[in-house]
């Protein structure tokens, strides 16, 4: 399995918009084959930080996910409005 932690740093003026986009991305991603878990977390100590935590069955499922129209669109929009950092773990 593959776990991704995507840290999103966003300015206050864009936070609600980025969170809305992340929710739409999560809704679509949870329906994909090979998606084990997908959720959004909000920092309790830093209001400018969100995190998407996702788990995929294998590299093939993740690769297919990264090519979907919703992924390309929503992640592109989030990158325009925030800074994103990815951590990847195989287990």
Kindly list the distances between the CA atom of residue 74 and the CA atoms of 38, 81, 86, 91, in Å, as whole numbers in the listed order: 15, 11, 16, 27
pLDDT band for 17, please (50, 70, 90 cuts): very high
pTM: 0.94
Task: Please tell me the predicted confidence (pLDDT) of residue 52.
Answer: 98
Task: Please tell me the predicted confidence (pLDDT) of residue 5.
Answer: 98
In a domain, residue 25? The reply is yes
In a domain, residue 90? The reply is no
Q: What is the CATH number of the domain that holds 59?
A: 3.30.70.100
In a domain, residue 77? The reply is yes
- The helix (run of H) or strand (run of E) holding residue 56 is strand 49-56
User: 31-71: per-residue pLDDT in tens?
Assistant: 999 999 999 999 999 999 999 999 999 999 999 999 999 99
Contact in structure between 51 and 10 (CB atoms under 8 Å): no
């Amino acid at each position: 399995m593959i776990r991704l932690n995507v840290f999103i740093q966003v300015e206050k003026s864009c936070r609600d918009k980025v969170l809305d986009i992340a929710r739409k991305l999560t809704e679509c991603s949870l329906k994909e084959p090979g998606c084990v878990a997908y959720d959004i977390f909000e920092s309790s100590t830093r209001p400018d930080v969100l995190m998407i935590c996702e788990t995929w069955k294998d590299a093939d499922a993740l690769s297919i996910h990264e090519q979907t129209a919703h992924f390309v669109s929503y992640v592109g929009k989030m990158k325009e409005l925030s800074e994103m950092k990815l951590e990847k773990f195989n287990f």
